[in-house]
């Protein structure tokens, strides 16, 4: 059977198959012909030349048998090709629904059955519709009878197959208002978007911004340090995911401040809610550099009573592209949002926008009191196609603004692996759009999922410019922590554009280094400029910053200048500053305000707390805070900061080891109702034996 006959049989172009399917079809056809030659007594090909010329073979049993073999061989070939095409179709989800955007107007891409990476496989926009009947086995062909012509047999075979009917299209559940391509004639074969096969997983395509560690700075040359606060926690949970997967995280994935701020701390609360927080400052000896000291700054926002929480207008912006077709992505995402519903009030509204090759509205604004409708919309979502994230963001903001509550919380919550590949993908262009949109009163938070192609850099940019937080969800426990236990800090902002500035006293400090916050550094003049964006603090959220300082009289990291005054010599100083390491200033705006307010406090020598020496389990000398000195919260946060620096290479941590970190953390675990601190200690133990590269041959 040639290709033209096969086209007539199917009344359509032959779907493309892979090489293995073609080989199987050809081998099947050859086997049919080889079977005809097994009986040598009826092998007419052995006749003499004259006999072959004169014999009326079309009237012999040989011709009848060969006609039959030709027909059935052709049928077998056709069915083998069709079944091979069916085998390569993407797997439907358990609810037999199709994901939003399965019908594309533009090109889409996803990891396919050949194991190619998502951004290397292109889907044809004209072939994105799918028929459920394609997954069903073909009907048995009509029995061939002696004397039937070849064309009549082809006709019988074609008529024996069920034709796709209109109800097939009506049964397709579109999980979003995707733009539908021009209708194709019924009865023609159509192919679904390519989706990853079970077991497919990207490796090594995670994207993190590379930033050098904060350097040591000399107080005489640069006495002022300025940065934006950071309440994101995504770095810690991604590191946990990597360690539990049996590999050390890449260094750029480690942001020490996000590791420290992952944990809750009982810092002092403000006495008057007119000020959303007040700083707590502690100075302790450094556990990793002898003679150095740590300036520990902690702030915690006041919490909002459940009865005082404002109404929420939330838009769930959900990535339903092909790369989300993994258990730790879309299925985990759905369950995470279901948990969030439990922390909302009945009068709050939820909308759902999805995006793949294009964007659509899967659920118009719906009261949380109608929870069943919201859950049904979430359950109907499937994954496939490209990733038009920018169009999804635009649609989500439009929907949020159309339902804006000026006295409530208006927030878009983007859930994605961050892999944008259709439409606007430039970071700066997306940041500019979100920066302008936040003036409308709609903020953006980001929830990251999955690994292998996780684009952390994209999500950090979006959250930082959208006045929101960036969290990474690696399991249901983390979903509960972020969206249930810490729902207030995730959703309700009590202060925005929070900046910290520390001026160090050259009479007391020769050098300093800010631990972490590399991506949050600000210029000195940005501190008083209310046009400069900075981080936000949610209700009940704790933020920690740690400086490693070199007191005057301790050997500095930088050699003194040959031609200038030594940085280690104490210059003349006013008596008022003799007992101050520095001066702390905080600026913030109220959620609906445009003018910043200022909080100040000195970093006093009187606030210094002692440390004591003890023995590590292995017998090595290590430093841990004395129970009568710094609090458990201060000591535990220092242990986390030490671990983060070790994961980044330990450039500034001297002889500090993982065992030292374990001892410090165990001695400061304190009250740990959810087991987060105990889990941290186990992660440090894992890191001691982990390889630096994943095993990609499993």
Check pLDDT > 60 for residue 284. Answer: yes
* Same domain assignment for residues 336 and 424: yes
Q: SS3 for 298-345, per residue?
A: EEECCCCCHHHCCCEEEEEEEECCHHHCCCCCHHHHHHHHHHHHHCCC
pLDDT: which is higher, 555 or 396? 396
DSSP 44: G
Lowest mean per-residue pLDDT among 13-22, 287-296, 457-466: 13-22
Residue 41 has pLDDT above 60, yes or no: no
Hey, which residues does 608 pair with through a beta bridge?
283
Same domain, 448 and 532: no
**Contact, 340 vs 484, CB < 8 A?**
yes
557 with 589, same domain: the answer is yes
pLDDT at 143 over 80: no
Q: Are residues 507 and 478 in the same domain?
A: no
Q: Are residues 660 and 615 in the same domain?
A: yes
Is residue 430 over pLDDT 90? no
- Shortest CA distance to 176 belongs to which of 228, 235, 101? 101
Residues 577 and 636 reside in one and the same domain: yes
Considering the domain boundaries, does residue 523 fall inside one? yes
Q: Can you give the C-alpha Rg of the chain in angstroms?
A: 33
Task: Work out the average pLDDT over 53-70.
Answer: 48
pLDDT at 283 over 70: yes
Q: Name the more confident of 80 and 692.
A: 692
How far CA 563 is from CA of 506, 559, 613, in Å, comes to 18, 12, 40
147 backbone φψ class: left, alpha, beta (φ>0; ψ -120 to 50) = left
Task: Look at residues 633, 646, 631, 536 and name the one whose alpha carbon lies nearest to residue 256.
Answer: 646
Query: DSSP states of 117-185 as a string?
Result: -GGG--B-GGG----GGGGSPPPPPPPP-TT--HHHHHHHHHHTSPPP-HHHHHT--BSS-PPPPPPPP
Say if 105 falls within a structural domain. no
Average pLDDT for 131-143: 44
Q: Which position has the higher pLDDT, 543 or 29? A: 543
Domain that holds residue 159: 3-88+131-170
Domain end point (choices 457, 491, 525):
491
Q: Which of 312-316, 578-582, 642-646 is the least confident region?
A: 578-582
The Cα 104–Cα 112 span in angstroms is: 17
Element (H, E) at 216: none
Considering the domain boundaries, does residue 104 fall inside one? no
Average pLDDT over the chain reads 76
Q: Please tell me whether residues 154 and 281 are part of one structural domain.
A: no
Average pLDDT over residues 630-651: 96
CB 623 within 8 A of CB 246: no
For position 646, which CATH number holds? 2.60.40.1230
Q: Please report which confidence band the pLDDT of residue 421 belongs to, taking 50, 70 and 90 as the band edges.
A: low
pLDDT at residue 305 tops 90 = no
Choose one of 450, 465, 491: the last residue of a domain.
Answer: 491
Burial class (CB in 10 A: 0-12, 13-18, 19+), 689: exposed
- Per the CB < 8 A criterion, the answer to whether 679 and 481 are in contact is no
397 pLDDT more than 60 = yes
26 and 141 together in one domain: yes
Statement to judge: residues 343 and 414 lie in one domain: yes
Q: Taking 90 as the threshold, does the pLDDT of residue 99 lie above it?
A: no
> What's 368's domain CATH number?
3.40.50.410
Q: Is residue 463 part of a domain?
A: yes
Residue 313: both structure tokens together? 């207008």
Tell me, what's the pLDDT at 439? 82
| 661 and 566 together in one domain | yes
Q: What is the DSSP letter of 631?
A: -
Instruction: Give the count of domains, the chain.
Output: 3
Indicate the range of 240-244, 429-433, 636-640 predicted with least confidence.
429-433
pLDDT of residue 22: 62
Same domain membership, residue 516 and residue 614: yes
CB 484 within 8 A of CB 343: yes
pTM of the entire predicted model:
0.70
Q: Would 593 be classed as within a structural domain?
A: yes
- Contact yes or no for 108/125 (Cβ under 8 A): yes
Per-residue model confidence (pLDDT) at position 295: 96
pLDDT at residue 431, rounded to an integer: 79
Count of CA atoms in the C-beta half-sphere (13 A) of 152: 9
pLDDT of residue 304: 84
Question: Residue 551 — very low, low, confident or very high, per pLDDT cuts 50/70/90?
Answer: very high
Q: Is residue 265 part of a domain?
A: yes
Contact 416, 448 (CB under 8 A): yes
DSSP string, 437-499: HGGGT-EEEEEE--SSS-BHHHHHHHHHHTT--EEE--SHHHHHIIIIITHHHHH-EEEEEEE
| Position 602 in a domain | yes
Domain boundary residue, one of 491, 523, 546 = 491
Summarize pLDDT for 601-634 with one digit per residue, the tens: 999 887 676 654 344 444 333 333 333 478 999 9
Identify whether residues 326 and 468 lie together within a single domain.
Answer: yes
Q: Note whether residue 164 is domain-resident.
A: yes
Distance of alpha carbon 500 from alpha carbon 294, whole angstroms: 17
Q: How many CA atoms lie within 13 A of 569 on its CB side?
A: 7
């Amino acid at each position: 059977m040639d290709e033209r006959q096969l086209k007539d049989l199917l009344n359509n172009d032959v779907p493309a198959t892979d090489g293995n399917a073609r080989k199987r079809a050809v081998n099947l056809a050859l086997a049919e012909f080889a079977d005809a030659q097994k009986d040598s007594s009826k092998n007419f090909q052995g006749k003499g030349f004259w006999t072959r010329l004169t014999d009326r073979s079309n009237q012999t049993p040989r011709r009848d048998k060969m006609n039959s073999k030709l027909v059935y061989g052709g049928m077998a070939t056709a069915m083998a090709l069709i079944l091979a095409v069916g085998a390569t179709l993407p797997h439907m989800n358990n609810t037999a629904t199709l994901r939003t955007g399965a019908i594309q107007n533009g090109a889409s891409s996803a990891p396919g059955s050949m194991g190619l990476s998502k951004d290397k496989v292109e889907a044809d926009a004209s072939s994105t519709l799918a028929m459920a009947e394609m997954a069903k086995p073909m009907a048995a062909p009509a029995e061939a009878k002696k004397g039937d012509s070849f064309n009549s047999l082809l006709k019988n075979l074609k008529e024996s197959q069920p034709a796709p009917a209109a109800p097939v299209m009506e049964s397709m559940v579109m999980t979003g208002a995707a733009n539908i391509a021009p209708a194709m004639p019924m009865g023609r074969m159509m192919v679904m978007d390519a989706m990853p096969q079970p077991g497919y997983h990207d490796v090594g395509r995670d994207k993190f911004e590379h930033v050098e560690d904060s350097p040591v700075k000399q107080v005489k040359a640069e006495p002022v340090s300025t940065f934006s606060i950071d309440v994101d926690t995504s770095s810690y949970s991604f590191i946990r995911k990597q360690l539990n997967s049996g590999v050390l995280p890449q260094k750029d994935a480690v942001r020490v401040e996000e590791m420290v701020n992952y944990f809750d701390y009982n810092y002092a609360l403000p006495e008057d809610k007119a000020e959303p927080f007040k700083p707590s400052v502690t100075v302790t000896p450094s556990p990793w550099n002898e003679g150095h000291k740590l300036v520990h700054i902690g702030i915690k926002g006041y919490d909002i009573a459940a009865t005082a929480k404002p109404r929420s207008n939330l838009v769930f912006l959900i990535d339903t592209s092909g790369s989300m077709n993994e258990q730790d992505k879309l299925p985990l995402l759905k369950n995470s949002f279901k948990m969030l519903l439990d922390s909302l009030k009945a009068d709050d509204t939820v909308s759902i926008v999805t995006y793949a090759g294009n964007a659509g509205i899967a659920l118009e604004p719906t009261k949380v009191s109608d929870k069943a409708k919201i859950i049904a919309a979430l359950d109907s979502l499937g994954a496939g196609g490209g990733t038009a994230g920018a169009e999804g963001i635009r649609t989500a903001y439009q929907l949020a603004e159309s339902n804006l509550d000026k006295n409530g919380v208006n927030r878009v919550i983007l859930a994605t692996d961050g892999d944008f590949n259709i439409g606007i993908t430039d970071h700066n262009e997306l940041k500019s759009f979100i920066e302008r949109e936040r003036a409308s009163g709609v903020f953006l938070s980001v929830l990251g999922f999955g690994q292998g192609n996780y684009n952390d850099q994209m999500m950090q940019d979006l959250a930082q410019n959208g006045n929101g937080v960036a969290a990474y969800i690696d399991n249901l426990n983390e979903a509960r922590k972020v969206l249930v236990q810490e729902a207030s800090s995730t959703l309700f902002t009590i202060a925005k554009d929070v900046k910290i500035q520390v001026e160090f006293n050259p009479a007391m400090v020769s050098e300093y280094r800010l631990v972490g916050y590399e991506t949050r550094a600000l210029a000195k003049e940005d501190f008083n400029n209310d046009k400069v964006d900075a981080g936000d603090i949610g209700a009940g959220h704790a933020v920690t910053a740690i400086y490693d300082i070199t007191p005057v009289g301790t050997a500095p990291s930088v050699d003194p200048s040959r031609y200038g005054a030594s940085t280690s010599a104490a210059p003349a100083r006013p008596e008022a500053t003799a007992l101050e390491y520095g001066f702390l200033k905080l600026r913030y705006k109220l959620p609906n305000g445009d003018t910043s307010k200022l909080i100040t406090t000195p970093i006093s020598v009187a606030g210094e707390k002692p440390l004591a020496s003890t023995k590590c389990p292995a017998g090595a000398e290590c430093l841990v805070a004395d129970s009568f000195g710094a609090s458990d919260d201060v000591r535990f946060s220092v242990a986390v900061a030490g671990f983060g620096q070790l994961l980044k290479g330990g450039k500034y941590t001297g002889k500090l080891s993982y065992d030292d970190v374990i001892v410090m953390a165990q001695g400061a675990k304190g009250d740990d109702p959810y087991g987060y601190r105990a889990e941290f200690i186990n992660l440090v133990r894992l890191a001691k034996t982990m390889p630096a590269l994943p095993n990609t041959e499993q």
